[in-house]
Amino acid sequence: MAARTERPASLGRGLGALIPQRQPASPGAAEIPLARIEANPRQPRLRFDDAELQALSASIREHGVIQPILVMETLNGYQLIAGERRVRAARLAGLERIPAVIRQLADAQQLEVALVENLQRADLNPLEAAHAYQQLIDQFGFTQERVAERTGRARSTIANTLRLLLLDAGVQLAVIEGTISEGHGRALGGVPPEHQRRLLPAVLGQALSVRQTEELVRRVREPRPLAAEEPRAAHDQDRERVEEELRRALGTKVSLARSRHGGRIVIEYYSDDELGRLYERLVGGSA
């Protein structure tokens, strides 16, 4: 009985494990016309930096395309699988042909190859990676465990990245643009989207660290315990609602305490910068 050939179990080991072995009839890379290459509809990378493309284009004009792209042959030409930055930069450089390795891959494999190549080059922002992971799950029936196995990531990393898709759109954009980190985004994910929108300006304006952002979220979420001397009454629910709305509006811990002749509002702050921000918000001017 002939020995069975085992297929590589993980794509996280490198692109070589993703790409089927070459057939004898197609050794090495071929030079193919750039005009006949169609974009990969499953390209996980959505944003391309113009300055980086110009720099790569200048390098290609000087040295040529060092690493072949990966394409699949179609009836009308070729469909790109991996190497979109090289294709765009080669077109900017005025090239008419580009070296390419031609393979026939199934739809899921096309996405896997493009995803792993970008992850290995650290070319994807966290939201692009999250969308690609979700596409593998939704369209191809992958579990989180299988996504982790195929991309060489820990399952917890996959789960944490997927949670970014639940963030408010404004927070997602801040992660994409790099104004806050993935860690900031995960911290803000600890409160509902409408709270995230209120907290984001404080995180940006005060240049809070991830840990400080987590503390800010904790303070907003933390329920205010009742004072021992304060009796429970019918107005307690209204007071808690007012406290919550003040916490959201000011982005810090606020508590109300009733007394016989009225009461007091306690607004907490944890740094001089935060005091200045609260002053500006409350009185409309600089301290």
Contact 47, 78 (CB under 8 A): no
* Residue 242: predicted pLDDT: 83
pLDDT above 60 for 67: yes
C-alpha separations of 13 from 109, 174, 280 in Å: 15, 31, 53
Q: How many residues does the chain have?
A: 287
- For residues 56-68, give the mean pLDDT: 84
pLDDT at 212: 92
pLDDT band of residue 46 (cuts 50, 70, 90) is low
- Nearest CA to 103 among 5, 37, 14, 29? 29
286, with CB counted inside 10 A (0-12, 13-18, 19+), is: exposed
More confident residue, 95 or 150: 95
How many angstroms separate the CA atoms of 104 and 28, rounded? 15
Q: Closest Cα partner for 69 from 52, 54, 57, 86?
A: 86
CATH number corresponding to 29-160: 3.90.1530.30
**The predicted structure's pLDDT at residue 57:** 87
Angle among Cα 36, 136, 172 to the nearest 5 degrees reads: 95
Residue of 81 and 17 predicted with greater confidence: 81
pLDDT number for residue 119: 64
6-29: average pLDDT: 44
Domain spans, the chain: 29-160, 167-222+232-283
Flag whether the pTM goes above 0.95.
Answer: no
| pLDDT value for 228 | 46
The answer, yes or no, to whether residue 23 has pLDDT greater than 70, is: no
Q: What angle do CA 20, 24, 29 make, to 5 degrees?
A: 70
Question: Which residues, 6+ apart, have CB-to-CB distance to 186 below 8 Å?
Answer: 160, 163, 164
Both structure tokens of 27 = 């050794």
- Please state, in angstroms and as integers, the Cα–Cα distance from residue 168 to each residue in 172, 190, 197, 198, 246, following that order: 6, 11, 7, 11, 21
Mean pLDDT, range 77-103, rounded to an integer:
88
Per-residue confidence at 74, pLDDT binned at 50, 70, 90?
confident
For the segment 66-92, the average pLDDT, to the nearest whole number, is 86
**Among 119, 137, 138, which residue's Cα sits nearest to residue 129?**
119
C-beta separation of 110 from 70 below 8 A: no
Residue 89 pLDDT greater than 70, yes or no = yes
Are 40 and 80 within 8 A, CB to CB?
yes
From CA 113, how far away is CA 84, in angstroms rounded?
12
Burial class of residue 247, CB neighbours in 10 A (0-12, 13-18, 19+): buried
Which CATH number fits the domain 167-222+232-283, given the four candidates 3.40.50, 1.10.3110, 3.30.2390, 1.10.10? 1.10.10
Residues 167 and 130: their CA atoms lie apart, in Å, by 12
Evaluate if residue 58 carries a pLDDT over 80: yes
Distance CA 138, CA 92 (A): 35
Reported as a single tens digit per residue, the pLDDT across 102-160 is 887 776 776 677 666 666 555 678 888 888 888 888 877 889 998 888 777 888 999 99
The beta strand positions in 169-274, using DSSP E, are 254-259, 262-267
Chain-wide mean pLDDT for the chain?
Answer: 78
* pLDDT value at residue 3: 41
Q: Token match 């465990």: residue?
A: 145
Average pLDDT value for residue range 180-204:
92
Write the DSSP string, 57-112. Answer: HHHHHHH---S-EEEEEETTEEEEEE-HHHHHHHHHTT-SEEEEEE----HHHHHH
Mean of pLDDT values over 88-93: 90
Instruction: Indicate which residues carry an active-site annotation.
Output: 84
Report pLDDT for 169: 92
Structure tokens at 152: 């060489």
Of 150-159, 179-188, 195-204, 277-286, the least confident: 277-286
Pick the most confident of 141-145, 183-187, 220-224, 265-269: 183-187
Residue 9 banded pLDDT, cuts 50, 70, 90: very low
Distance in angstroms (rounded) separating the CA atoms of residues 150 and 271: 45
Which of the listed ranges 101-105, 126-130, 253-257, 283-287 does the model predict with the highest average pLDDT?
Answer: 126-130
